[in-house]
Structure 1
Amino acid sequence: MASTQVNPTRMELTKQKKKLVTAVRGHKLLKDKRDELMRQFLDLVRENMELRKKVEAGIRSANTNFVIAKAGMSEETLNTALMAPKQEVYLETGKKNVMSVDIPVFEYKTRTPDANDIYSYGFAFTSSDLDGAVKSLADILPDMLRLAEVEKACQLMASEIEKTRRRVNALEHVIIPEARANIKYITMKLDENERSTQIRLMKVKDMMLEEAHHYKEREAERGA
């Protein structure tokens, strides 16, 4: 339905046509963006599921080893062994832009590059199960950080998909139909005005011809 505030002028018609072209182009670009966001979002969801299973399995393994280690060691010995961590981890945060969405990126560095430099205790008074628990937690650290990245990325992309979907719907169901209706309304009004003008001109022409005919008749009468 055409807007009641649209002026049926040629300038307004040109404006509405440009608006329609822009809206159609924007609609296509936003649809392409929405589809690509959905594709990448589904890829991240699948990766998230796999990472979560892997991390949960690693945590279960570490917890199992800790329980077994605690059963074979005194609480004092266990607390002493874990009191002062040997390795240190430095976490750096960044971001990357994916389809106008800023995705977080986590990178970590350890104080020493040796992957086995994680045991803060001697092996004489501790069980091998404690070693397995510490190793399990160290092994799943990269996956835990990647899982945090992916889960946050999924949240941000889901929000962006919803915003893009609303914009696509607004263009498709409101702005584009309104612009087309306005163009149709203005075109009809301009055609109607043009027909009215032509009719008036034809009437004026007939009146002028009739007046000229009467003038010639009067001139002829005078000459007789």
Structure 2
Amino acid sequence: MGEVMKEANFSLASVKFTTAANINSLVLQNVTKAQRKVKTDKENVAAYELTGLAGGGQQIDRLKKNYSKAVDLLVDLASLQTSFITLDDIIKATNRRVNAIEFVIIPKIERTLNYITQELDEREREEFFRLASSDLSLQFIFELYILNFVLYLCVCRCLFKVLSY
């Protein structure tokens, strides 16, 4: 981009140097008019006026090409800049969402899970204490344990008899 702008400005300087006339009239011409104009110039040589062509046509063409390139590059640059600004806004919004999830939502869920775990542990301790504090409950649990053991022994004997035959 810098090289194109440098070349365009150098072309403008060379046009101003080669044509003594004001080039604003050429620049302000409408595009629908002729693309190239030839100017005549009169030189006074030994008291005679000689009609000839004014110089600078090639430099003006070069100036036009260089500034066309520069304008095209500036349009591309402006398009990229707009895209970068939009992308930057999207990235900022995404970062805000990530931060909200990381610093608000996840800690809230972790606190809820800790609360649920504590409540379940508390209920388990209360139930164990309730069962352990009652003699009837302990006796009932012991009897169930013995009945399960006796049932297990009966099943084992039956299996042994079946397998023995």
Normalised to the residue count of structure 2, the TM-score between the two structures is: 0.61
Distance in 2, Cα, partners of 1:204 & 1:74: 117
- AA of the residue aligned to 2:66: S
Which structure 2 residues correspond to residues 165-176 of structure 1 after superposition, within 5 A?
165-176=95-106
Distance in 2, Cα, partners of 1:184 & 1:119: 83
Question: Cα offset for 1:132?
Answer: 0.7
Maintained 8 Å contact 1:82/1:120 = no
- Once the two structures are superposed, what CA deviation does each residue of 1:32-67 show, in whole Å capped at 9, x if it has no partner? xxxxxxxxxxxxxxxxxxxxxx2x322221111111
* Count of aligned pairs between the two proteins: 124
Q: Once superposed, which parts of structure 1, at least 4 consecutive aligned residues long, lie more than 3 Å away?
A: 118-121, 123-126, 201-205
Question: Residue in 2 aligned with 1:184?
Answer: 114
- AA of the residue aligned to 1:73: T
Match of 1:130 among 60, 63, 72: 60
Maintained 8 Å contact 2:8/2:70 = no
Question: Residue in 2 aligned with 1:58?
Answer: 4
Identical aligned residues as a percent? 24
Question: Residue in 2 aligned with 1:197?
Answer: 127
Match of 2:93 among 163, 176, 188: 163
CA pair 132-204 structure 1, distance change in 2 beyond 3 A: same
Question: Cα offset for 1:189?
Answer: 1.1
Relative contact order, higher structure (CA 8 A, sep 6+): 1
Question: Residue in 2 aligned with 1:17?
Answer: none
- AA of the residue aligned to 2:37: G
Structure 1 residue 68 corresponds to structure 2 residue 14: yes
What is the Cα-based RMSD across aligned positions, in Å?
A: 2.9
CA pair 85-64 structure 1, distance change in 2 beyond 3 A: farther
Unpaired segments ≥5 residues, structure 2: 40-53, 140-165
Unpaired segments ≥5 residues, structure 1: 1-53, 88-117, 210-224
